[in-house]
Amino acid sequence: MVDHHHGDHHHGPAKGLGRWLFTTNHKDIGTMYLWFSFCMFILGGTFAMIIRAELFQPGMQLVEPEFFNQMTTLHGLVMVFGAIMPSFVGLANWLIPMMIGAPDMALPRMNNWSFWILPPTFLLLASTLFMEGGAPQAGWTFYAPLSTTYAGPSVTYFIFCIHVLGLSSIMGSINIIATVMNMRAPGMTYMKMPLFVWTWLITAFLLVAVMPVLAGAVTMMLMDVHFGTSFFSAAGGGDPVLFQHVFWFFGHPEVYIIILPAFGVVSQIIPAFSRKPLFGYDSMVYATASIAFLSFIVWAHHMYTVGMPVAGELFFMYATMLIAVPTGVKVFNWVSTMWRGSLSFETPMLFSIGFLVLFTIGGFTGLMLSIAPSDFQYHDSYFVVAHFHYVMVAGAVFSMTAAVYYWLPKWCGRMYNETMGKTHFWISFIGFNLAFFPQHFVGLAGMPRRIPDYALQFADFNMLSSIGAFIYGASQILWLYNVIATIVAGKPVHDAKVWDGAEGLEWTVPTPAPYHTFETPPKIDPAHAHS
């Protein structure tokens, strides 16, 4: 029996470590997701720095080719599954209940587990670096037979990690779907939900649909490696191209899983700093749903070079080009929201506009890649690397950075240093473009991706690219400092001005009410409002 006079953790809140280990509070869990994903961002960034250091000049300088390949693999896996996805899940946990007026997530205990299986899983994934033969060397897409027939012993651990990460994603998504469908405040119909809630609801359905497909792919890998099957081995009647079909049937919706919550974030931030409601709310919802639907029927555009029938190439080409339409609708709506708005350029807005410009560039290079005969030239070149970093870094990461600056004062009741935030933006923006814009050029000139050495003619652009990457990486330390300084010693946000787009009124609300949501404005007496 517990002596109740000396504190029983079942009565009253848990203290210290227990508070974080056993919490069912959506805000605590959201915070843990955000900090964990930042740690993974730094780890994945470190792997990228090793890659860029090796490529700073031609020749083999720092690492063995095998280790270089381990870096490309782990950089991709850690950034996609460790940094970007969990960061947006953390955002969802923090914001969705508050945006829909729910007391917490629908399944709080499962929410806790969804988070806590992640840190040990990534510890296991990182530990493959120290195993015999090192981490997997097949790239983040781990194509068979490189990942099966020719894989090192660590591939088994990698497969297990992928299973567990998928489990976390599926549970988190079920939780979001259950919360949004069942726990909206009275009067909040679907078409009144904030755009961020919409994008996450649709993303959650994508995750539930495709994570089992990835699980199927790695299970077939496991069977090929350990149980004598030949799913992906031509020698036993299997087909390596089958792996690519199964992987990309997961992998293409996955890239939209990464970007849709980012779309939701900028759809909240741009109206706030334009001082007017989002232009074309309904069309944004329909565009998001269209993108999600189309994401399932474009997967083989990653595989134009495998020798599929021309009819297949044509289908996937047209389907892929079609995705540009709803995406263009979104860009149009964001620009229209800013058009003739009363704009101010605080840090979240700077990152959102940076997102808008750079994501659009990434969209156009994606349109280039969708054209099958052109893709024969671009495929597996640095042009592809440039393209997807413009949509993943300038898209997802810039948007996540905007979100942190935007909502941090709400999360901790303190204001960040605006000058430092703007400085972070400009260093990031310049570093990012210096790192990735030249990669379009070396790619079009024929430089293949995922190689540790290259021909002399690519030297200058690679040096620029590496310098830009180091600048971008260094700027994140400034961000980390700003966030910690804010939490520890930021100026308290006593009164935040809230602007209501519908009525054109401005009023003052006490902390910790949000200074950003005007989708459902509080009831106020217009006589007491001041413009």
Which residue in the list 184, 276, 302, 516 is annotated as catalytic?
Answer: 302
Task: With H, G, I as helix, E, B as strand and everything else as coil, classify residue 448.
Answer: strand
Query: Could you tell me where the DSSP H helices lie in 371-417?
Result: 372-378, 382-391, 398-412
145 preceded by cis ω (within 30°)? Answer: yes
Task: Tell me the Cα Rg of the chain.
Answer: 24
Which residue in the list 163, 275, 414, 449 is annotated as catalytic?
Answer: 449
Which residue in the list 72, 327, 337, 466 is annotated as catalytic?
Answer: 327
| Known catalytic membership, residue 254 | yes
| Known catalytic membership, residue 379 | no
Which residue in the list 33, 200, 248, 256 is annotated as catalytic?
Answer: 256
Which residue in the list 75, 389, 424, 440 is annotated as catalytic?
Answer: 75
Nearest residue to 240 via CA among 267, 217, 258: 217
Which residue in the list 254, 313, 346, 375 is annotated as catalytic?
Answer: 254
Which residue in the list 20, 35, 46, 104 is annotated as catalytic?
Answer: 104
Which residue in the list 52, 301, 424, 440 is annotated as catalytic?
Answer: 301
Which residue in the list 113, 140, 143, 157 is annotated as catalytic?
Answer: 140
| Known catalytic membership, residue 301 | yes
| Known catalytic membership, residue 163 | no
Q: At what angle do helices 118-127 and 155-182 cross, to 10 degrees?
A: 160
Which residue in the list 23, 73, 121, 168 is annotated as catalytic?
Answer: 168
| Known catalytic membership, residue 302 | yes
For 491, the enclosing helix (H) or strand (E) is strand 491-492
| Known catalytic membership, residue 327 | yes
Here the tokens at position 452 are 């540790």
Which residue in the list 73, 154, 169, 199 is annotated as catalytic?
Answer: 169
Nearest residue to 484 via CA among 399, 402, 428, 420: 420
Query: How far is Cα of residue 196 from the mean position of the Cα atoms in its chain?
Result: 14
Rounded-to-integer distance, Cα 157 and Cα 88, Å: 26
The answer to whether residues 351 and 402 touch, using CB atoms and an 8 Å cutoff, is yes
Rounded-to-integer distance, Cα 173 and Cα 431, Å: 34
| Known catalytic membership, residue 3 | no
Which residue in the list 26, 276, 330, 389 is annotated as catalytic?
Answer: 330
Burial tier of 135 (Cβ tally within 10 Å: 0-12, 13-18, 19+): buried
Rounded-to-integer distance, Cα 138 and Cα 217, Å: 15
Which residue in the list 252, 389, 410, 516 is annotated as catalytic?
Answer: 252
| Known catalytic membership, residue 104 | yes
| Known catalytic membership, residue 168 | yes
What distances in angstroms separate CA 251 from CA 18, 300, 301, one per listed residue? 37, 10, 11
Nearest residue to 283 via CA among 303, 269, 263: 263
| Known catalytic membership, residue 94 | no
| Known catalytic membership, residue 267 | yes
Cβ within 8 Å of residue 90, ≥6 positions away: 29, 30, 31, 32, 33, 34, 36, 37
| Known catalytic membership, residue 169 | yes
List active site positions: 75, 104, 140, 168-169, 252, 254, 256, 267, 301-302, 327, 330, 449
